[in-house]
Amino acid sequence: MMCRLKRLFSATGLILLAAPALAAAPVSPNRNSAAPPDDAALARAIDAYTRPLVERGDLSGQLLVLRRGRVVVERSFGFANFELRAPVTPETRFDIASVTKPMTGVLAIQQAVAGRLNTRDSITRWFPDFPRGDSITVSMLLRHRSGIPHEIVPDSAMTRPFSAAEIVERAERLPLDFAPGTRESYSSGGYEVLARILERVSGKSYATLAADSIFTPLEMTHTSHVDSRQIVPGRATGYVPGIYGIENAPLQDFSGLVGAGSVWSTARDLHRFVAAIVAGRLGEGPRLSYVRGGRVDFNGRTGGFKAWAWWDSTSGIEEILVSNLASGAPDVLKGAIPRLANGEKLVPPSPPALRAEAAPLEELNRWEGVYQIEHGPRLDVRVHDGALYCNDWLLLPAADGTFYSPRDYGLVRGVPGANGHLARLDWTQGGVIYPAPRVGD
């Protein structure tokens, strides 16, 4: 659960990539478990679980579930474009956010095998003017240990296309978050720098290298790295929960996340990618790096998009979702499907009862401040247009005095302080409470 809150606000020198910790979907049986259902019964259970999420407008995208290679469920929900009422189809393309990163990792491993780079190389080999570049290795970029900031281009500035070379130029002007190699902190910026290295060593653009090395060989015909200028058939628009319902996500050109969150794809194509990693068709290095403990677990969120891919060798279950609506539904669905496949009887979560009237402005003002989850993100809570936001996440007033976060189905309770403001926020997600003491106004 903490990983989702972190996203609220990463002889050849081959290594096993240490992906950022992800919450594994719970699969242990409990007292509600029965015998694992057959494929038809599992499909009915998944449909029953997703139906209320779709009906209340929390789920839009593609879902693909397989068991030992057999398709159990393939569903398309919601709209690729809500304004045009264009429905999602199996060919609709979604930004897959950080699921781009393992693709970049595969490319790096392939270039290492080909002898064009070594993961122990410092990045001064390609960028001699990069601050402390002699202390930053390719391995650190892959393992989120470089100190390069997570965000090189702020979301507010990602309204135009960016090249990988431009991203590196910007990164060179930013201070490092920490001394290279001294800690691990999720960094899209590190992968963006890595994308430029891959361009330099291969002599190809990131888009061409990914297409030549992964997408075309695997027949991922609906997958590409593109920018906002290009015409992409079936490209979905991103959406977020807003005060009056679903709203357009802030305008972003995801080429600014080259190598880290810039690829557009479909559930079917992501299945081809996962299956190729598991079978070793992309090489033994990628298989050893990304099949850990008998599982593959990829997860991503950016703008209004969410995506995940999960495979488990024991149960044989593979589940993939790509979504253009940033609600909490994709997250709960990811954890629910393996449990349904295990025979558990589950009821989908429902939002709390919300206040019938708007919260008074003076009450909202009490919540304003900066809060810090231990080893997690800073939460900047502000009032905008009469509503409360945590960073860019809307918080809706619930009838019991808490606030509800539709982006993660979180409940936020304020703990009063001595000065009339709040001393702490308790953010509850999936039954776990994450305390966030106030650290500033």
Residue-wise pLDDT tens digits, 40-56: 999 999 999 999 999 99
What share of the chain has pLDDT > 90, as a percent? 85
pLDDT band at 381 (very low <50, low <70, confident <90, very high): very high
What is the CA 392 to chain-centroid distance, rounded?
16
Q: Is the pLDDT of residue 12 over 70?
A: no
* φ, ψ (nearest 5 deg) of residue 305: -110, 145
Q: Is the pLDDT of residue 248 over 70?
A: yes
Residue 121 to residue 10: CA distance in whole angstroms: 19
Q: How much is the pLDDT for 340?
A: 98
Q: Is residue 354 classed as helix, strand or coil in its secondary structure?
A: strand
pLDDT band at 23 (very low <50, low <70, confident <90, very high): very low
Q: Is residue 161 classed as helix, strand or coil in its secondary structure?
A: coil
Reduced 3-state DSSP string for 370-382: EEECCCCCEEEEE
Q: How much is the pLDDT for 2?
A: 41
Query: From start to end of 68-143, where are the E strands?
Result: 70-77, 79-81, 86-87, 94-95
Q: How much is the pLDDT for 25?
A: 42
Q: Is the pLDDT of residue 272 over 90?
A: yes
Q: How much is the pLDDT for 17?
A: 53
Reported CATH class of domain 361-440: mainly beta
Other CB atoms within 10 Å distance of the CB of residue 78 = 21
Burial of residue 156 (number of CB atoms within 10 Å: 0-12, 13-18, 19+): exposed
Residue 383: both structure tokens together: 């009032």
Q: Which fold has domain 1-350?
A: Beta-lactamase (3.40.710)
Residue recorded with tokens 């319902």: 245
Residue 187: both structure tokens together: 């960094």
Per-domain boundaries in the chain? 1-350, 361-440
Average pLDDT over every residue of 113-123: 97
Q: Which among 8, 4, 15, 258 has a CA at the least distance from the CA of 145? A: 15
> Measured at the alpha carbon of residue 99, what is the angle toward residues 97 and 100, in degrees to the nearest 5?
80
Average pLDDT over every residue of 193-220: 98
Q: What is the mean pLDDT of the chain?
A: 92
The answer to whether 425 touches 433, Cβ cutoff 8 Å, is no
Residue 17 to residue 253: CA distance in whole angstroms: 28
pLDDT band at 35 (very low <50, low <70, confident <90, very high): confident
The answer to whether 133 touches 124, Cβ cutoff 8 Å, is yes
pLDDT band at 34 (very low <50, low <70, confident <90, very high): confident
Q: Which residues pair with 77 in a beta bridge?
A: 61
Q: Is the pLDDT of residue 10 over 70?
A: no
Lateral strand order in the sheet of 224-225? 94-95, 263-265, 224-225
